[in-house]
Amino acid sequence: MADERILIVDDDPSLLTLLKMRLHSMGFVVTACGSGGDALSRIQEDPYDFAILDLRLPDADGLDLMDELHQHQTNLPILILTAHGCIPNAVEAMKKGAYGYLTKPFDDKELLESIDKALTTKRMSQEIHRLQLLVNELYGLENVVARSPEMHTVLKQVAQVAKTDTTVCISGETGTGKEVIARVLHCNSPRASKPFMAVNCAAIPETLFESELFGHMKGSFTGAHQNKRGLIQSADKGTLFLDEIGEMPLSLQGKLLRAIQNREVLPVGGQVPM
């Protein structure tokens, strides 16, 4: 919550003062504006994490003002305040991108729950973005250290293959960095924002391998109480790295080959490929 900034826009001085005091006491940095023009000036000066906007302002239409605020901050969560008779306008605001709405007079608990929910989602998105940048920094081609001419050749091949949508076979002795190359491929491909799943084939018991890889349908065997997505489906649109693939049971290698060739899987107990 440290230094999270909230913009309040309402033409009621008493409400502005009350909201500012309560949110400030919770640790937020609060900017209170009595007009749409003031709000637009403020958002051009500083970014905000959340906004509370009255639909009826003396100098601006609330819906138009919301659009203008979003032009400056596309992902700004905006909570609409409205009177009981203006609920249809609030619903229209939701359709146009408002985070939610409250009717006046509103309960403090409702307001704080809305703010907390929106900011929690925003914090999670920021953390995911930070981690993605960190992964890209670690596995970006420009950050992979290689001295030998052979390794430079491999990295050139990685750069070429990363742009394609194809199956890649990476071979090498244990400890030579096959998974690193797989992650570099993933992080430099159009799939970088999707899951990367590394599976050690040698670590999965043979009796569970088919179910883990391809998934299963409810009732397909004892203990299958519900449908389960396999690892292949879980990595959909991303990258699935099968390490030690030579340890995979021979009986399943043909099924895996069909899955790779046809881009579809048949869960255990299933009748139709997915």
270 within some domain: no
Per the structure block, which two tokens stand in for 13?
């001085």
Q: Decide if 88 is inside a domain.
A: yes
User: Is 140 among the domain residues?
Assistant: no
Cut 0.75: pTM above it = no
Residue 131 predicted with pLDDT over 90: no
Q: pLDDT category, 226, cuts 50, 70, 90?
A: confident
Residues 43 and 84 in one domain: yes
Do both 9 and 129 map to the same domain? yes
Please say whether the dihedral angle defined by the alpha carbons of residues 209, 210, 215 and 219, taken in this order, is positive or negative.
negative
CATH of the domain at 165: 3.40.50.300
Residue 104 lies in a domain: yes
In a domain, 35, yes or no: yes
Kindly state whether residues 76 and 109 are assigned to the same domain. Answer: yes
Q: Are residues 227 and 206 in the same domain?
A: yes
pLDDT average, residue stretch 181-189: 84
What's the number of domains the chain is made of?
A: 2
Dihedral sign, CA of 141, 142, 147, 149?
positive
From the number of C-beta atoms within 10 Å of its C-beta (0-12, 13-18, 19+), residue 260 rates as middle
Sheet holding 5-9, edge to edge: 29-33, 5-9, 50-54, 78-82, 100-103
CATH number at residue 72: 3.40.50.2300
Pair 13, 112 in one domain:
yes
**pLDDT score at 132:** 62
**Backbone phi, psi, residue 20, to 5°:** -60, -45
54 and 91 share a domain?
yes
For residue 7, name the pLDDT band (cuts at 50, 70, 90): very high
**Chosen domain end from 81, 102, 133:** 133
Mark which of 133, 160, 182 sits at the end of a domain. 133
Residue 9: pLDDT band with limits 50, 70, 90: very high
Confidence at residue 2, expressed as pLDDT on a 0 to 100 scale: 54
* Domain interval for residue 42: 5-133
Contact 181, 158 (CB under 8 A): yes
**Residues sharing a CB contact under 8 Å with residue 22, sequence separation 6 or more, in sequence order:** 108
- pLDDT higher than threshold 60 for residue 18: yes
* Burial class of residue 86 (count of CB atoms within 10 Å of its CB; 0-12, 13-18, 19+): buried
Q: CA 106 from chain center: how many Å?
A: 31
The reported pLDDT for the residue numbered 8 is 92
267 in any annotated domain: no
Q: At what angle do helices 178-187 and 108-139 cross, to 10 degrees?
A: 120
If asked whether residues 22 and 126 sit together in one domain, one would say yes
Give me the residues paired with residue 29 across strands: 5
With bands split at pLDDT 50, 70 and 90, how would you rate the model's confidence at 33?
Answer: very high
Mean pLDDT of the chain: 83
Does residue 143 surpass a pLDDT of 70?
A: no
- Could you say which of 107, 133, 159 is where a domain stops? 133
